[in-house]
Chains A and B, each alone.
Chain A
Amino acid sequence: MHEASLAGGVLQLVDDTAQREAFSRVLQLRLEVGQLAGVEVQALRFALDCIAPGTRLEGAQIEIVESPGLGWCLGCKQSVTITQRGQPCPLCASHLIQLTGGMELRVLDLQVSDD
Chain B
Amino acid sequence: MCVVCGCSQNNRLAGPDLARPGAAVSGSASSEGPQIDPRSGDLHYGAGAAKVSVPGMSQARAIRLEQDILGANQRIAEQNRAHFAAHGVLALNLVSSPGSGKTTLLCATIDALRQRHPALPVAVIEGDQQTSFDAERIRATGAPAIQINTGKGCHLDAPMVAAAFAQLHSHAQPQAHGHEHPHEHGHAHGHAHHHDHAHGGPSLLFIENVGNLVCPAMWDLGERAKVAILSVTEGEDKPLKYPDMFAAAQLMILNKIDLLPHVAFNVERCIELARRVNPTIEIIQLSASTGQGMADWLHWIEHALGHEHDHGHAHAPAAPSAAEQALRERVAALEAELAQLRAGAVA
Enumerate chain A interface residues (CB-CB to B < 8 A).
1-6, 9-10, 12-13, 17, 21, 23, 27-28, 30-31, 35, 37-43, 45-46, 49, 61-68, 72, 74, 77, 83-86, 88, 95-96, 98, 105-114
Contact = CB atoms under 8 A, between A and B. Distances in A.
B4 A86 contact: no
Nearest to A38: B244
Given A42-B45, A86-B243, A65 B56 contact: no
Interface string B174-209: 000000000000000000000000000000000000
A113 to B, nearest CB: 5
A21 B60 CA distance: 13
Interface string B304-347: 00000000000000000011001100100000000000000000
A16 B202 CA distance: 38
A96 B56 contact: no
Nearest to A113: B60
Contact of A45 (B23, B51, B71, B154): B23
A38 B244 CA distance: 6
A1 B327 contact: no
17 contacts: A2-B154, A9-B73, A35-B46, A38-B4, A38-B217, A63-B25, A65-B51, A72-B330, A85-B277, A95-B276, A96-B323, A96-B326, A106-B65, A109-B64, A109-B66, A110-B65, A111-B62
B15 interface: yes
Contacts of B46: 35, 40-41, 83-84
Contact of B66 (A88, A95, A107, A111): A107
Contacts, number: 180
A68 B17 contact: no
B126 interface: no
Contact of A86 (B23, B33, B240, B323): B240
Contact of A95 (B4, B72, B218, B279): B279
Given A5-B153, A27-B58, A41-B32, A109 B15 contact: no
B4 A6 contact: no
Given A43-B10, A45-B17, A106-B67, A96 B155 contact: no
Contacts of B154: 1-2
A40 B7 CA distance: 14
Nearest to A36: B244
Given A30-B53, A46-B16, A68-B50, A74 B22 contact: no
B61 A61 contact: no
B101 interface: no
A98 B321 CA distance: 14
Contacts of A31: 69
Nearest to B27: A66
Nearest to A14: B65
B60 A42 contact: no
B4 A43 contact: yes
Interface string B67-106: 1111111000000000000000000000000000000000
B294 interface: no
Given A98-B330, A113-B58, 12 more contacts: A2-B219, A3-B4, A9-B71, A13-B72, A21-B61, A37-B218, A74-B326, A85-B243, A105-B68, A111-B58, A112-B60, A112-B63
Contacts of B247: 85
